[in-house]
Structure 1
Amino acid sequence: MKYLLAGEESQRLLFRTILTSDFDAWLPFHQNPLSSQHWTGPPKDPVEACQQQFDAIFERYINNKGGMNALICKKTTDLVGFCGLLMQTVKGKDELEIGYSILPSYWGNGYATEAAIKCKEVAFVNAWAPHLISIIHVDNLPSKKVALKIGMELRETTSYKQNPVEIFAINH
């Protein structure tokens, strides 16, 4: 499967593919209204939203369009979040995006930044793309901070899937 980091690790995290058995551990992400407050489109029902996300993840895996990896805390073996490289089409152009989501109980611990740095390193070492992007809702300040911490710069403001977003980018 292309663009996945299964088997990689960072200082505190192990990367592996997402499994159907991760569903219950990931459900609290969708049960917290702050997790998806900026995006229109996901179902309001947490179970339905989680299922929709898992379906999209497994479809990406099958179609070699990258995807999220489960982030496992080395110390506790708990699932703390998802992060990965995803092929996205922005304004008719294919782009490789670093995407990240952390379970609310682990927010503020630097896991998104740590995982995003690893994604950036692996993508550039393997020459998977000359640059990487992150598509971030204009009101999502924590995600913007992660993008800036890993060296990305604001490239443009646009609309993506009917949401106002900022595209952050970094060149190899």
Structure 2
Amino acid sequence: MISDTYRYEDGLESERLRTRFLALEDVETWKNFYLSEGNAQYLLGLGGKTPEDNARLAVERQLKRYVERSYGLQALIERHSGKLIGQCGLLSQDINGRRELEIGYQLFNDSWGRGYATEAAVLFRNYGFERLGAESIISIIATGNLPSQKVALRNGMHREEEVLYMGIPVYVYRLTREDWRSL
């Protein structure tokens, strides 16, 4: 569930990653995300006709979320290289009639398999509980997205239910504050 008090910061850091809010200047980099095979396989709801359209729509969606106080994905920067390798963040989602705080992430496929998704998810999990006072945090994951399901498990979450979300079968993974404290 989402706290009544809104605050969302960028500049978060983990051992190998740093975050920042996305900007329109990121559209060109995100175009490459949509050009690479497999990157956008499980993404829902953009609907652009070209990789350029999807990149612009994706960045604009996050900018709108920042303004509307519904959190949003942030750019993930590899600290040692300064390279943008993906995005991760907290999202305000409506699922089954409830407003939930979700951890979402997307990585460029050349960054897969290095533990970055888990590192970023843990960073935002801890931020959500420590700084935002969340009572629980979820991840909404397509039933076929096995790598993201493994990230959710490594993030301390458990599979709670299977539902239709935007017409797609998904699993909802959840971590409560109480369970987080015992990690």
Query: What TM-score comes out, normalization by structure 2 length?
Result: 0.88
Match of 1:135 among 119, 132, 140: 140
| Residue of structure 2 equivalent to 1:93 | 98
**In 2, Cα distance between the equivalents of 1:3 and 1:50?**
26
Task: Tell whether the 8 Å contact from 1:5 to 1:69 is kept in structure 2 after alignment.
Answer: no
Q: CA deviation at 1:39?
A: 4.4
Task: Tell whether the 8 Å contact from 1:4 to 1:68 is kept in structure 2 after alignment.
Answer: no
Total equivalences in the alignment? 171
Match of 1:119 among 104, 121, 124: 124
Q: Are the structure 2 counterparts of residues 170 and 122 from structure 1 closer, same or farther at C-alpha, using a change threshold of 3 Å?
A: same
State, as a whole percentage, how many aligned pairs show the same letter.
36
After the TM superposition, which of the residue ranges 57-66 and 15-24 deviates more from structure 2? 15-24
| Residue of structure 1 equivalent to 2:156 | 151
Match of 2:35 among 18, 21, 31: 31
**In 2, Cα distance between the equivalents of 1:96 and 1:54?**
20
1:74-89 mapped onto 2 (5 Å cutoff):
74-89=79-94
1:51-66 mapped onto 2 (5 Å cutoff):
51-66=56-71
- Gapped regions of structure 1 (runs ≥ 5): none
User: 2:173 aligned with 1:168, yes or no?
Assistant: yes
Instruction: Give CA-to-partner distance per residue, 1:115-145, whole Å, 9 cap, x none.
Output: 1001011111124320000000000111111
Task: Tell whether the 8 Å contact from 2:26 to 2:59 is kept in structure 1 after alignment.
Answer: no
Q: Are the structure 2 counterparts of residues 77 and 40 from structure 1 closer, same or farther at C-alpha, using a change threshold of 3 Å?
A: closer
**In 1, Cα distance between the equivalents of 2:46 and 2:21?**
22
Query: What TM-score comes out, normalization by structure 1 length?
Result: 0.93
Q: CA deviation at 1:3?
A: 5.2
User: Aligned to 2:69, what secondary structure does the other structure show?
Assistant: coil
**Root-mean-square deviation (Å):** 1.4
| Residue of structure 1 equivalent to 2:180 | none
Q: Are the structure 2 counterparts of residues 38 and 14 from structure 1 closer, same or farther at C-alpha, using a change threshold of 3 Å?
A: closer
Q: Are the structure 2 counterparts of residues 50 and 3 from structure 1 closer, same or farther at C-alpha, using a change threshold of 3 Å?
A: farther
